[in-house]
Amino acid sequence: MDIQIVTAASVTKLGPEHVGQVLVCGSHGGVYAGYLAAKAGVRAVILNDAGGGLEDAGFSSLVYLDALGRPGATVSHDSARIGDGDDMAARGVISHINQTAAALGCAVGQSAAACAEAMRAAPAPLGEAPVYEEARFRFSKEGETPAIWGIDSASLLRPEDVGHVVLTGSHGALLGGEVASAIKYDVLACAFNDAGVGCDDIGISRLPALDLRNIAAVTVDCQTARIGDARSMWQSGIISHLNKTAAALGVSVGDDLQVFANKARQ
């Protein structure tokens, strides 16, 4: 097999062309992203560390991948844009690696390109990745509407979420800079993790894009809630940035995420 270095904006959008290849992907480095990469059959993966954040959630996939014998690494969120695999491949600087990657010669401080090249020597992946389920959580009382939903990934959004408040564990960056990627459906309001904001302020780039659709949107500080974990956001997330539509609700930086969610549904 001719082992290639391939890129993707998100691990939620992988296909047959990524099987057996080395992937540089714009997703955050949380466990679920590592699971999706492994499930898709990639040989090795480089993700974005999303600022590390609360309990180092931004690179927590690396231990998970080690257990599968798969090389994994993250680039610094300040070196390349999260949500943009091409930019990470071009500009990314490695911030964390797992033991499997280290055994191939990968190292902190390398360019993403050099790390990916070393990963081409990894053996083909064997076996299926053990199932790791993300989840949806209802934070408002049953029967109350609009409802407040928590989803660990924006990829879990459903058509029936239109008109409701949805708090996602995803990063706040547009995928590949595409405005249409801000959110799939016209929810009433939504929240993301700021992923350390990062290079070119990419971690908050969904917010102005959602103003164009009159959707109130905020990010929480990555140091106050685990990226990829909606329950963590609900329990301890503190607003770090907001769009004009959210500001019009009387929401401010420094508010608890629950304040935003409840004001949005009034």
Tell me the C-alpha distance between 239 and 248, whole Å: 15
Give tens-digit pLDDT for 66-79.
Answer: 999 999 999 999 99
Residues 112 and 146 in one domain: no
Residues 142 and 260 in one domain: yes
Would residue 47 be called left, alpha or beta, if left means φ above 0 and alpha means ψ between -120 and 50 degrees?
beta
Residue 142 lies in a domain: yes
Degrees to nearest 5, angle at CA 81 with 53 and 189: 65
**Cis previous bond, 130, omega within 30:** no
Boundary of a domain, candidates 88, 119, 150:
119
What is the mean pLDDT of the segment spanning 151-165?
96
pLDDT above 70 coverage of the chain, percent: 99
Tell me the C-alpha distance between 266 and 197, whole Å: 29
Tell me the C-alpha distance between 142 and 145, whole Å: 9
- Whether the pLDDT of residue 131 is over 90: the answer is no
Residue 125 lies in a domain: no
Sequence length of the chain is 266
Residues 229 and 109 in one domain: no
What is the mean pLDDT of the segment spanning 122-145?
87
Tell me the C-alpha distance between 147 and 165, whole Å: 6
Residues 146 and 243 in one domain: yes
Residue 95 lies in a domain: yes
What is the mean pLDDT of the segment spanning 134-161?
94
Residues 113 and 145 in one domain: no
Residue 260 lies in a domain: yes
Number of structural domains found in the chain: 2
Residue 40 lies in a domain: yes
73-104 b/e (C-beta count within 10 Å ≥ 16 → b): bbbbbebbbbbbbbbbbebbbbbbbbebbeeb
Boundary of a domain, candidates 119, 151, 181:
119
Q: Which residues contact 48 (CB under 8 A, 6 or more apart)?
A: 26, 27, 28, 29, 58, 74, 75, 77, 80, 82, 83, 88, 92, 171, 195, 198
Residues 258 and 172 in one domain: yes
Residue span of the structural domain in which 34 resides: 5-119
Residues 216 and 160 in one domain: yes
What is this structure's pTM? 0.95
**pLDDT class of 248 with cuts at 50, 70, 90:** very high
Residues 140 and 115 in one domain: no
**pLDDT class of 1 with cuts at 50, 70, 90:** low
Closest CA to 229 of 164, 171, 145: 171
User: Strand order of the sheet with strand 22-28?
Assistant: 5-8, 22-28, 44-48, 72-75, 94-97
- Whether the pLDDT of residue 183 is over 80: the answer is yes
Supply the pLDDT for residue 126.
83
Residue 225 lies in a domain: yes
Residues 152 and 259 in one domain: yes
Boundary of a domain, candidates 119, 151, 168:
119
Handedness of CA 117, 194, 135, 153 (dihedral sign): negative
Residue 258 lies in a domain: yes
Residues 112 and 154 in one domain: no
Q: Sort strands 239-242 and 216-220 into parallel, antiparallel or unpaired.
A: antiparallel
What is the mean pLDDT of the segment spanning 9-25?
96
Residues 98 and 154 in one domain: no
153 contacts 168 by C-beta, under 8 angstroms: yes
Supply the pLDDT for residue 128.
80
CB neighbourhood size of 4 (10 A): 14
Residues 104 and 141 in one domain: no
Residue 189 lies in a domain: yes
249 contacts 262 by C-beta, under 8 angstroms: no
Q: Which residue has the tokens 């993790």?
A: 193
